[in-house]
Every structure is written in C-alpha cells, then in structure tokens.
Amino acid sequence: MEIQNSDGSFPPGTNVYYNDPETPVRNTSHWLMILLKVYTYTNDDKYKIAAAKAVDYLLSKEVRPMGASFWCRKNPHKDFCNGTVGQAFTLDALAQAYEVLQMEAVKNLADEVFLLHPFDEKNALWRSVAVDGSYLPIDPTFNHQLWFAVAGAELWRVGKNEEIGRRVRLFLDALHRNMNVHKFGHKGLIYHYVSRHHSFRKKGIIPHLKTLKLLIGQQRKNEIIRAIRYHCFNLWAFPILKNVFSENDFWYSKKFKSTFNYIFSNDFTKHEESLGLKKPNSVYKFENINIYEAYTILAFCDIEDKEQIVEELLSTHFEQEYDSETDMVNRLAADKLTQAARVYEATRLPNLELKLKNLNIADRQEG
C-alpha cells in the first residue's frame, strides 16, 4: 500500500507489450482486486480503507473525464479507451468491489459503463466506446471481446442486471462461430481475431483479401506466434465465465475442448520452448502464463497428478518473479509497475500450499 497515491490511485505502467503510456486506471483496478482479496482473508480494515480509496479514484471525474468510457491510455495514435479490454479490467474490479464493499454507487456506475457499449445483436459482439462517448467499430480482437464478457458475467453475478446477463448469454451462444480455432497444424489454437464470417457478406472481397494476406509467409507466422502467446490468456477467462453461466452448451463442444487440449500438445510445448514464452529475456515472453495454465488445468482438466502440476507451475512462477528487495512479483518484467499489479491474476486461484525456495518472504515480513 506504500505506493498508493493520496487520491487512491496506483502508479501507471506502459501496457507491457505495446509500450503505450497508460493512465493509473488499469493498475489501480488490478491493485483494487488485490486489496479486496487480502481484506477478505485478513478482515484487517486497513486493506478495506485502501480499497475504498481506490474505488473513489475509479469513480472520479478524472477517470471518466467526459462521462463515458474509462480513460485508460495516452497514445495519441490509438483510442484512449484501449478497446473493450481496457474497460473490462476496471469493470471486473468494480464488480468485486461491489461484492465486498456493497457500495451501491459502484454497481450503478459499472452497469452504466458496461451498457454504454453497443452490443451488435446480429454478430453478438461489442463495439468500443471512445472516452468522449462516440461509438467506435466492433472490437475485432478476440481476447478483448472475451474479457469484456467476463466483466459482464461478474457484474451480472453480483448485481443481477438482466440486460447485462442477456448480452453475455448471447455472446456465449455465438462463441461457436465467433471464436476461430486452427483445425490443422495447430489444432485448437485460438485465432487472435474474431471470426470474419459476418464481414464476408457485408463487405465483399476485401475481408477475403485481408484473410488471404494472413496466410502468406511471414505474416502468417507472426499471426500464429501472437495467437500462441495469447492462447493461455484466453483460456484463463473461460473458467470465470463457466462459473457464472455453467449451463451454456459451449462448454461441452468439441471446439472448446480442443482449446485446452492444445496446451498439452507437442505443438504448443515446442513453440512454448522455442519462442521462450516463459524465458526472462525472450522478446516473446508472456508474463503470468504459468498462472493461466494452472487455472485452466484446475478448472477443466481431468488428469493424473494435476494438483502437483499446478503447484510446480506456480512455484516456478513465484520463484522466478519475486523480488525480495521490493517485495513485488515483478523481478524479471520490463514493465515493473504493471507486472506488480498483475499479481491480482492469482487471486482467483484456490488456496494452495506452495514450496518456494530461497525467497525469504517470511524474513522480510518479520523485519
């Protein structure tokens, strides 16, 4: 809590992979989830007070300067809302805040911002909304749509707004067509972009040409690498959605099962190693991939010794990333401020006993 500012915000980072300067909104949202989790475990009011200060910041005019979407990033060449995913991070945090703190203003604002985003009923996808309130096109990035759905699911779970629940159900019902997966060579790997099936009919040959370009040479290779990097980030969202909407048929489909079977394939293992997804100095490193894999295995995989596999994944992650000097889990990160906040991604894991070597966490806490 030492790094929390007087206005309740936490220091911003640079959006990890794209080096876009961010406002404090994202990291404050992540830290809010950490504070809420620690408060529920300890019942120590200092964490509740810090969480309430973070909420006050996220409800402030600075965060929604024009009364529309949250202002997430500062890159003048991109939208300031960071598509639907920038909004999703904060809406998810506000859902958890309402559940723990029971502040009605939190629920009202979060529901308002979620419903502000137009839902294309035909395609079952959301449009982005600029910070000034103007409508942007459908966000074409699959993980953006998926995490916005997660935010909606969590808002519905804690607040039961029926329109939010209806939209998320429609999104889930359409996943069989909006989520593209590789069928050959990388069977089960999720494409980075949503299916273009609806664009083909509307816009003639241009989308076909764009798709063809993705299949050619280096461009195809780059798209596959990006899909592999984001695959586990996508998988991490599915258990959260299933926890809220467990009755949906999608969870029993061959397409869905192929997505988590992929992480056990030789193809994924080979690329994970060759790209260095978990290696500290690799340009392709994807932070917290061990957490995503662990969460997916616990939620969906019926395999022998899965608890041991999960404990090994998490122990390796924290042994590599924990910085005893700062008491943060960001030792090997390029964007240390964002990575420190992203330890919130472990808050959805069940209580597990990890055998961590040479961290001296207890010594630091006693000192």
DSSP 97-143: HHHHH--HHHHHHHHHHHHHS-EETTTTEEEEE-TTSPEEEEP-BHH
Which 3 state secondary structure label does DSSP give 22?
strand
Give the pLDDT score at 142.
98
- For the record, the structure tokens of 125 come out as 């996808």
Of 11-15, 53-57, 141-145, which gets the smallest average pLDDT? Answer: 11-15
Read off the pLDDT of each residue in 82-90 and give the average, rounded to a whole number: 98
Residue 159: pLDDT above 80? yes
Read off the pLDDT of each residue in 256-280 and give the average, rounded to a whole number: 85
Of 89-93, 249-253, 271-275, which gets the smallest average pLDDT? Answer: 271-275
**Domain annotation covers residue 299:** yes
**Domain annotation covers residue 197:** no
**Domain annotation covers residue 39:** no
**Domain annotation covers residue 312:** yes
In angstroms, the CA 272 to CA 189 distance is 13
In angstroms, the CA 138 to CA 158 distance is 27
Tens of pLDDT, residue by residue over 336-363, are: 999 999 999 999 999 888 888 765 544 4
Task: State the total domains in the chain.
Answer: 1
Give the pLDDT score at 333.
83
**Domain annotation covers residue 342:** yes
Give the pLDDT score at 169.
99
**Domain annotation covers residue 294:** yes
Residue 281: pLDDT above 90? no
User: pLDDT tier at 274 (50, 70, 90 boundaries)?
Assistant: confident
The angle at the Cα of 28, spanning 22 to 29, to the nearest 5 degrees, equals 105
**Domain annotation covers residue 246:** no
User: pLDDT tier at 275 (50, 70, 90 boundaries)?
Assistant: confident
**Domain annotation covers residue 345:** yes
Give the pLDDT score at 115.
99
Residue range(s) defining the domain that contains residue 311:
287-367
